[in-house]
Structure 1
């Protein structure tokens, strides 16, 4: 039996805890050991969660530990995941049983997928991708490492999301569009053409935002 440790005990961490206990592997392949968070009182006022057992920086991995990273920020997800990987950590996938993985869908490690998402035929999903609830991926979608898809977002067929892309809630990317590395798509936006690296787009149709 593996001991699952959730990195991050804030709001998203609490959601990932419930995902973990709803997945088929709970109490069969793993139990939840606790959280890692540098804010020792992050769960103060909240009941029915396992304890915070330390910080990522201080934690010493023991036999049968496995990990998921429950940080909504791509920057910090990457930072803390790489930190614990350098200590020899092993990551597992949490995929809600209501999610559908269709024919030839290929997924990496450290994947988090919430309820009622659809990963269509021949999709490829890289390592440490987060997919929140009710996301739809069209056939042949490719999602690269570290990306985060918020609830109700959608990709058409042959869409490519490069590394560290963020789709906010209800964002839609039309077929054959490429969203380049580190780009952000705003909530409820409609992406109709390729998005350049590192920029933020918003609106219908989605256009570059300048701050």
Structure 2
């Protein structure tokens, strides 16, 4: 059956191109809560029709229109919530991987995660459900990336870093090997993180300090 997308924004467009580059068919439809949603479109690719609000997911599954889905939402907490709801309904949550990404054979990628162009996932890395490893991000050996984390473009985790759930590592930010970053923490763009970060804390700068 066709793949269902949740979310018709910019991340969804990036994933449309990922599917094209991977030689996979586009999603058969998209759900989005915007009342005037025009569907999901990206130049040079066929448009994906809007099928209604996210609440229709259970109906579409029961009708056997779709049996797999991907949550193309940028907000970490919402992506996790919707992903867990879809899994509870019975949807499969496939991993979407760009062919240019480098993933070690010993790495483990959780359901519903997206690995975008030129991302690198090192040896023995563990990635939780519904995570985003965005363009050019690097997770070095033995790192653990919790559910619904987002490594923004160009961000780097040194070896053995542990991210809790729903952590955002900003564009071009770097995290020193072996550090612990708590649930819901936010690391600002271009930051150099040299010490552990508490849950929910926002840090930024070089070296990174609480904001």
Matched, 1:132 2:130: no
Count of equivalent residues = 204
Cα distance per residue 1:79-106 (max 9 Å; x no partner): 3223333322221110001001113111
More helix by share: 2
Report if aligned partners of 1:174, 1:192 keep a CA contact under 8 Å in 2. yes
Query: Which residue of structure 2 aligns with residue 79 of structure 1?
Result: 81
CA distance in 1 between partners of 2:95 and 2:135 (Å): 15
Give TM-score scaled by structure 2 length: 0.90
Query: Which residue of structure 2 aligns with residue 35 of structure 1?
Result: 30
Deviation at 1:45, TM superposition (A): 10
Report if aligned partners of 2:160, 2:178 keep a CA contact under 8 Å in 1. yes
Report if aligned partners of 2:39, 2:50 keep a CA contact under 8 Å in 1. no
Deviation at 1:44, TM superposition (A): 7.0
Report if aligned partners of 1:8, 1:70 keep a CA contact under 8 Å in 2. yes
Query: Which residue of structure 2 aligns with residue 55 of structure 1?
Result: 53
Partner SS for 1:16: helix
User: Structure 1, unaligned stretches of length 5 or more?
Assistant: none
Matched, 1:195 2:197: yes
CA distance in 2 between partners of 1:117 and 1:8 (Å): 22
Deviant stretches of 4+, over 6 Å:
none
Report if aligned partners of 1:144, 1:162 keep a CA contact under 8 Å in 2. yes
User: Structure 2, unaligned stretches of length 5 or more?
Assistant: none
Report if aligned partners of 1:56, 1:83 keep a CA contact under 8 Å in 2. no
Report if aligned partners of 1:40, 1:52 keep a CA contact under 8 Å in 2. no
Give TM-score scaled by structure 1 length: 0.90
Partner SS for 1:65: strand
Report if aligned partners of 2:76, 2:149 keep a CA contact under 8 Å in 1. yes
Partner SS for 1:57: helix
Partner SS for 1:127: coil
CA separation of 1:44 and 1:105: change in aligned 2, threshold 3 A: closer
Cα distance per residue 1:77-132 (max 9 Å; x no partner): 12322333332222111000100111311111101010001111111111111111
CA separation of 1:129 and 1:11: change in aligned 2, threshold 3 A: same
Deviation at 1:146, TM superposition (A): 1.1
Cα distance per residue 1:173-203 (max 9 Å; x no partner): 0101111111010000010010001110010
Partner SS for 1:66: strand
Deviation at 1:12, TM superposition (A): 1.6
Matched, 1:68 2:70: yes
RMSD: 1.8
Query: Which residue of structure 2 aligns with residue 13 of structure 1?
Result: 12
